[in-house]
A and B are shown apart, each in its own frame.
Chain A
Amino acid sequence: MTAAGRSAPVRRRRLARGPVTIGEPAAAIEARLAAAEPYRPDTIADGGTAFGLTIRAASVRGLYKRYTGGPRQDDICLRSHAGSDTLVAAVADGVSAAVRSDLGAALAVRYATAAVVRQLDDGRGSIDWGPVFEQAAWALVEEHRRASGDAGAGVEEASGSLATTLLVAAVRDSDVELAAIGDSPAFVLRGKDYDAVVGEAEHHDGLIGGGVDALPGCAGAAQVARCSLEPGAVLLLCTDGLAMPLAGGGGEVGATLARELARPPDIVDFARLLDFSRSTYDDDRSLIAVWGAAR
Chain B
Amino acid sequence: MKIKLPSNMRAAPAAGVPDPSEPATMPLGSPPSAESVEPVVPPPVAAPGEEPGEGASPAARQALWAGEQAPVGSVIGQVLPMYFVGDESHSMAGEPIAAVNQGLIDLRDEVAKHPLIGKKVRFGIITFAETAQTRLELSELSEQLVLPALSPRGRGTSYASALEALRQTIPADVALLKGNGYQVHRPSVFFLSDGLPTEKAEKWRARLAELKDPSFRERPNILAFGVGEADPEVIAQLASSPRYGFMMTQGASTAGAIAEFASSMLNSMVASAERLDRGDHTIEFEKPEGFVQLDAPLV
The interface of chain A, by Cβ under 8 A from chain B, is 1, 4-8, 10-11, 13, 16-29, 62-64, 67-68, 95-97, 183, 201, 205-212, 240-241, 244-245, 247, 250-252, 255-256, 259-260, 262, 265-266, 269, 272-273, 276, 278-283
B3 CB within 8 Å of chain A: yes
| Minimal beta-carbon separation of B79 from chain A (angstroms) | 7
The secondary-structure label for the interface of chain B is: loop
Q: Besides the contacts A273-B28, A280-B119, what 5 more A-B pairs have beta carbons closer than 8 Å?
A: A24-B68, A27-B116, A250-B74, A251-B73, A272-B28
Pick 12 A–B contacts, CB within 8 A, sort by A. A7-B47, A16-B39, A17-B41, A18-B26, A22-B24, A28-B47, A97-B278, A206-B184, A209-B281, A240-B279, A252-B24, A280-B119
Q: Are B183 and A208 interface neighbours, CB within 8 A?
A: yes
- Taking a contact as CB atoms closer than 8 A, the residue among B26, B75, B76, B110 that contacts A19 in the complex is B26
Given the contacts A96-B275, A97-B275, A251-B75, A209 and B186 also touching, CB distance less than 8 Å: yes
- Taking a contact as CB atoms closer than 8 A, the residue among B25, B50, B114, B186 that contacts A207 in the complex is B186
Number of B interface residues at 8 Å Cβ cutoff, please give it: 57
Identify the interface centre among B8, B29, B183, B186: most chain A CB within 10 Å of its CB: B183
Given the contacts A17-B39, A29-B47, A210-B281, A245 and B75 also touching, CB distance less than 8 Å: yes
B49 CB within 8 Å of chain A: yes
A269 to B25, CA, bound (A): 13
Given the contacts A20-B25, A24-B65, A279 and B75 also touching, CB distance less than 8 Å: no
Identify the closest chain A residue to B41 (Cβ). Answer: A18
Q: Scan residues 229-249 of chain B and give those whose CB is less than 8 A from a CB of chain A.
A: none
- Taking a contact as CB atoms closer than 8 A, the residue among B26, B77, B276, B278 that contacts A21 in the complex is B26
Q: Are A207 and B47 interface neighbours, CB within 8 A?
A: no
A273 to B275, CA, bound (A): 23
Q: Are A19 and B42 interface neighbours, CB within 8 A?
A: yes
Query: 1/0 contact trace for B181-212 toward A, CB 8 Å?
Result: 00111100000000000000000000000000
Q: Scan residues 38-90 of chain B and give those whose CB is less than 8 A from a CB of chain A.
A: 39-42, 44-50, 53, 65, 68, 70-71, 73-79
Q: Are A21 and B24 interface neighbours, CB within 8 A?
A: yes
Given the contacts A24-B65, A206-B217, A241 and B46 also touching, CB distance less than 8 Å: no
Identify the closest chain A residue to B61 (Cβ). Answer: A25
| Minimal beta-carbon separation of A191 from chain B (angstroms) | 14
Collect the chain A residues with CB atoms within 8 Å of residue B73's CB. Answer: 250-251
Q: Are B280 and A209 interface neighbours, CB within 8 A?
A: yes
- Taking a contact as CB atoms closer than 8 A, the residue among A10, A64, A260 that contacts B274 in the complex is A64
Q: Are A64 and B116 interface neighbours, CB within 8 A?
A: yes
Identify the closest chain B residue to A280 (Cβ). Answer: B77
- Taking a contact as CB atoms closer than 8 A, the residue among A16, A28, A62, A207 that contacts B218 in the complex is A207
B1 CB within 8 Å of chain A: yes
B154 CB within 8 Å of chain A: no
B6 CB within 8 Å of chain A: yes
Q: Are A6 and B47 interface neighbours, CB within 8 A?
A: yes
Given the contacts A208-B78, A209-B279, A265 and B28 also touching, CB distance less than 8 Å: yes
Given the contacts A1-B113, A183-B279, A207-B217, A259 and B8 also touching, CB distance less than 8 Å: yes
B174 CB within 8 Å of chain A: yes
| Minimal beta-carbon separation of A193 from chain B (angstroms) | 15
Collect the chain A residues with CB atoms within 8 Å of residue B274's CB. Answer: 64, 68, 96
Identify the closest chain A residue to B215 (Cβ). Answer: A205
Identify the closest chain A residue to B9 (Cβ). Answer: A259
Q: Are A24 and B77 interface neighbours, CB within 8 A?
A: yes
A205 to B220, CA, bound (A): 12
Identify the closest chain A residue to B183 (Cβ). Answer: A208
Q: Are B183 and A4 interface neighbours, CB within 8 A?
A: no
B108 CB within 8 Å of chain A: no
Given the contacts A97-B280, A209-B281, A251 and B74 also touching, CB distance less than 8 Å: yes
Given the contacts A28-B44, A207-B218, A18 and B39 also touching, CB distance less than 8 Å: yes
Given the contacts A11-B41, A245-B75, A211 and B280 also touching, CB distance less than 8 Å: yes
Collect the chain A residues with CB atoms within 8 Å of residue B23's CB. Answer: 255-256, 259
- Taking a contact as CB atoms closer than 8 A, the residue among A7, A62, A278 that contacts B50 in the complex is A7
